[in-house]
Amino acid sequence: MSCQQNSSVEPTFPPTKAYYSFRVFKLTDPNQPRNEVGFDTLTYRAEDGTIRILTNRTIYFTNEYDTTIYANVPTDRVLEGYLSSSKAKNVIIEVGLIDKTGAKRTQDYQSTGAMNQSQAVPVRLRVRKEVPLGEISTAN
C-alpha cells in the first residue's frame, strides 16, 4: 500500500453485465387478438452513468411486450430505469445482474397498473437500485 501524495487510485471492478427488463401489458380483447401497446418514454442508465432515452415506440402484440436491455454496471453501481406508457394497463420493470453463467440475478422489481385507465393518463413506473459490492463479486 502506498501513501504517495496525489495518489488517486480508484477501485476497479471487472465489467459486470446488468439488465433492465421492461414489460407492458394490455388485456387482450378476444374479438381483437391483435392489440396495440407501447411506451411513450423508456429510460435506462448506461455503463458510463448517462441516461439513455427511447421514446414513442409502438408495438403490435398478442398478449404482452417485453424488452430487455443489457449494459455493464455503472461505476457507482446504480441501476435506474423508467417507463411511461399511455396505452398499457400494467407496467413492470426488473433490474439485475447477469452472472458468469449467463443467469439473471434480480436486484429489484417494480410493478404498477391502472384498472380504469383513461387514455389521457399514462402508466408510469421508476426503479432505482444501488447494487451491493458483494452481489457484484458473487456475479463475477
Quote the CA–CA distance of 21 and 106 in Å, as a whole number: 10
Determine how β-strand 64-72 pairs with β-strand 104-113. unpaired
Domain extents in the chain: 18-135
Whole-number Å distance between alpha carbons of 107 and 21: 12
Q: Which residues pair with 70 in a beta bridge?
A: 19
Q: Where are the alpha helices (DSSP H) in the chain?
A: 133-139
Q: What is the pLDDT along the chain (140 residues), one digit of tens a residue?
A: 444 444 455 445 557 899 999 888 776 655 655 555 678 888 999 888 899 988 876 655 555 667 888 999 888 899 999 998 887 778 889 999 998 888 899 999 998 876 655 566 788 899 999 999 888 888 88
The span from the CA of 43 to the CA of 111, in Å, is 16
**Is the separation of the CB atoms in 119 and 133 below 8 Å?**
no
Note whether 24 and 85 are within 8 A (CB): yes
Q: What is the pLDDT of residue 91?
A: 85
Q: Pick the closest to residue 72 from 9, 121, 117, 17 (CA basis).
A: 17
20 and 93 Cβ atoms separated by less than 8 Å: yes
Q: Collapsing DSSP states into helix, strand and coil, what is residue 83?
A: strand
